[in-house]
Amino acid sequence: MRRHAANQKDTRGRIVLAVFIIVYFACLCRLSWHYPLEQGFFPDEKGRISLPMFFYEHGTLPTGYEEAVRMSPWGFSYASYPLMLSSLIGGILMKMAGLVTGNMNVIVMAARMVSIISGTLFAFFVIKISKLLFSSPVCYLFSSMIVLLPQVIFLSLYFNNDIVALMGSSIVLYAWLLAIKKNWNASNAVLLAVGVVIVALSYYNAYSWILTSIVVYFAIWIRDIGSFKGIWGNRNFWRVTVLTVAVALIAILPFFIRTAIINHGDFLGLSTITQMSAQYGEGNFKPANRPTPQHLGMSLWEMLTSDHYLTGGNNWLKYTFFSFVGVFGPMSVFLPRFVYWLYVLFFAVGMFGFCAYRIHLVRNHEYGSTKYMDLVMLVNIVIVVALALWYSYATDYQAQGRYVLPMVLAFAYIVVSGWRYAMDAVLSDERSRFALCGIIVGMMACVVMFAFMVYYVQS
């Protein structure tokens, strides 16, 4: 009877998940269709979508030197990077759409399906991750914090690499958790490789997930075999590792080799971007003339707190936080301030609870295996934030939350871990914890619905 009841519960859970994912996908499609490309509502989309558009028109990926894909007034093209997975898939989907219609709005939607599907898969893996990281009801806090974050939904609506990278990072984390539970095997190792491939070919700011994956991969093998020396003589380790590396390299190397050939050895495209900006950029958009905080002689702290760029008392920290939670349009459509304050409160309680509980564990010498996951997540956050800070300081001042969103899974882990401790400390019974989680999730759902009412009002 118990097994039958458990099976019924699992079946209901799968049905609920399937319905949610279908509804989520349908909502993303409807929201995306609301703003055609020519309105220019989505930030940077015209520069990004010119790459799959070039594939649609010419049947090949651009090199970055074509004027059609060069962005004015910056003078460079995203095609100079090897991060072309979304452009290739988007171009193929545009070609397929072009076979049945000449309506450019539909053809653009075909390219946007890369982001819409990525956002939907991201939601799916986040929900799966939540059940492996946390028990009920806390797992609902984790999934809701991420899946219902207005900025995550907004990134899922238009053609960009950011949401693709988030989807890749969720696959990476899910593979880690499967391996922690069941050890590394061919299936979860290939899943890890798939996640690494997606991250590697989408967004440099998400590369922290690749770096930490190397550490996690070996740490789990060492845990299972017993020593670092022991893994080198283990046949299963070599079988799984060779398979994982082979899958990753076979998918990744062609893009980087192509970029190296086109850019005369610059396989990352960074130097080429700088050279093209210097040659074709206009005025202050040339790298030498760009008024970055570094060029202006500001300290890093001055960049974070100064309103030199944004005026009105707004600074890098404030704008980055706002757009981490949700700012629509080309950084122009803000949510009411109370929404941001609600998130400040939610994040603050979680981070305080996390720190308090970890201090308690250290003092009582009870800090066990969770310290390794904590460390990996904290390192992930530090790397992502450091890359975003350095880019704003030395290359191009960009106080945008999407530059730090690759840390959202790690950040949610920290925040929700803190909420779990806070609820355990304050609420004595399970019913109260379920009620509180229900209230918080309900508030998040109301916030996201309110946010996209604002989104529609702007049209």
Across the range 267-277, mean pLDDT stands at 95
- My answer on whether 317 and 418 are in the same domain is yes
Q: Give the pLDDT confidence of 323-332 residue by residue, as tens digits.
A: 999 999 888 8
pLDDT of amino acid 5: 58
List of residues 6+ apart from 236 with CB closer than 8 A = none
Q: Do 284 and 298 have their domain in common? A: no
* Parent domain of 213: 162-252
Given pLDDT bands bounded at 50, 70 and 90, which one contains residue 459? low
pLDDT in tens, 112-167: 999 999 999 999 999 999 999 999 899 999 999 999 999 999 999 999 999 999 99
Q: Does 142 lie in the same domain as 26?
A: yes
pLDDT band at 228 (very low <50, low <70, confident <90, very high): confident
pTM: predicted TM-score of the whole model, two decimal places: 0.95
Does the residue 442 lie in any domain? no
Query: Are residues 177 and 124 part of one domain?
Result: no
Alpha-carbon separation of residue 200 from 55, 98, 138, 428 (angstroms): 21, 29, 31, 45
Same domain? 34 vs 172: no
- Cα separation, 339 vs 318, in Å, equals 14
Output the pLDDT for position 7: 65
Residue 12 confidence (pLDDT) above 90? no
305 and 419 housed in the same domain: yes
Whether residue 145 is found in the same domain as residue 16: yes
Give the model's confidence band at 434: pLDDT under 50 very low, under 70 low, under 90 confident, else very high.
very high
Residue with tokens 């803190």: 418
Number of domains in the chain: 3
> Any residues with CB less than 8 A from the CB of 241 and at least 6 apart, and which?
189
| pLDDT (tens digit per residue) in 363-393 | 888 887 788 999 999 999 999 999 999 999 9
Q: How confident is the model at residue 226 (pLDDT cuts 50, 70, 90)?
A: confident
What mean pLDDT is predicted for residues 245-250? Answer: 98
In the prediction, which pLDDT does 453 show?
Answer: 84
Whether residue 122 lies inside any domain: the answer is yes
Mean pLDDT of 403-411: 97
Residue 426 has a pLDDT of 87
SS3 assignment, position 328: strand
**How much is the pLDDT for 356?**
93
Burial of residue 242, with CB atoms counted within 10 A of its CB: 0-12 exposed, 13-18 middle, 19 or more buried: exposed
> Does residue 32 contact residue 114 with C-beta atoms inside 8 Å?
no
Share of the chain above pLDDT 70, in %: 97
Asked if residue 433 belongs to a domain, the reply is no
pLDDT of residue 3: 63
The pLDDT assigned to 206 comes to 96
Is 312 found in the same domain as 274? no
Inside any domain, residue 444? no
Confidence of residue 458 (pLDDT cuts 50, 70, 90): low
Q: Is residue 439 part of a domain?
A: no
Residues above pLDDT 90, as percent of the chain: 83
User: Within this chain, do residues 113 and 203 fall inside the same structural domain, yes or no?
Assistant: no
Q: How far is CA 307 from CA 164, 293, 311, 314, 317, in A?
A: 32, 12, 5, 5, 10
Tell me: pLDDT of 11 over 70: yes
Burial class (CB in 10 A: 0-12, 13-18, 19+), 294: middle
Claim to verify: residue 31 and residue 152 sit in the same structural domain: yes
The mean pLDDT value for 189-210 works out to 97
In a domain, 417, yes or no: yes
Confidence band, pLDDT 50/70/90 cuts, at residue 13:
confident
Statement: residue 56 has pLDDT above 90: yes
Instruction: Please check the confidence at residue 76 and state whether its pLDDT lies above 90.
Output: yes
Query: Is 239 among the domain residues?
Result: yes
- Give the per-residue pLDDT at 1: 54
Residue 198 lies in a domain: yes
Residue 242, pLDDT above cutoff 60? yes
The pLDDT of residue 205: 95
* Together in a domain, 346 and 380: yes
Same-domain pairing of 208 and 169: yes
Q: Specify the pairing of strand 333-334 against strand 327-328.
A: antiparallel
pLDDT over threshold 90, residue 263:
yes
